[in-house]
A and B are shown apart, each in its own frame.
Chain A
């Protein structure tokens, strides 16, 4: 069985896809910080996917378009946000982040799932968020 990330990388033509995010560029995903983490994530009444990333991390930038698409598609059902670990170290320390990207899915203020390196496809992430939100296909 081909692992999900390999399937994803194989689908992407890296020579023709749109340029990766640049430092400081705004994304569709919610910007989560040390300051708003409590309110936006822990107190959220919807499931929240948090992507821990850094500007100078190649694999983080490679999955960024997928995370942005997911943020748009899940609007109203779940939140999708990003934590820039260089600017928000407290959250990263609190959740034991090491390799990036690390994706954490929160539900009712608790970590429901941890995925390191963008291991699942957008559809799998959407399924997990829909399940936690109680949305049936």
Chain B
């Protein structure tokens, strides 16, 4: 099945969002623009079809059900709490996802090891929600 490209309006919205969120969070776009373009297209597609920029780097058995939660709406909880983007949309200057703030047993930490945050004074606006996030991760794996 061929996928329909997202609308220009949704693409523009997400491209502007990504640029703005990089500045706000002290992160960078991936050095390979194809990686960024793929993710932006996925987000824009979800804006067109679901009305929300649901993360395209996960599988959801029921997307309509998932968007009732804000967990994986970009910028997702992992990004706003831990400054970690599994999708590689918001990364450090070397193109690696920041894992410094993740719990030791988080799959991102296991996968990438320790990747330090070079701009620690920016981002993580929901850092005080980490405990709630870990409860959700156990009780509602998604």
Chain A interface (Cβ within 8 Å of chain B)? 1-3, 5-6, 9-10, 14-15, 17, 19-20, 23-24, 52, 54-62, 85-87, 89, 92-93, 97-100, 116-117, 119
Contacts and interface: CB of A to CB of B under 8 A. Distances in A.
B142 interface: yes
Interface in B44-87: 45, 56-59, 61, 86-87
Given A14-B30, A92-B59, A99-B57, A56 B39 contact: yes
- Chain B contact surface mostly: loop
B96 A20 contact: no
A85 B57 contact: no
B88 interface: yes
Interface residues of B, number: 36
A98 B57 contact: no
A114 B133 CA distance: 24
B31 interface: yes
A20 to B, nearest CB: 4
B57 A14 contact: no
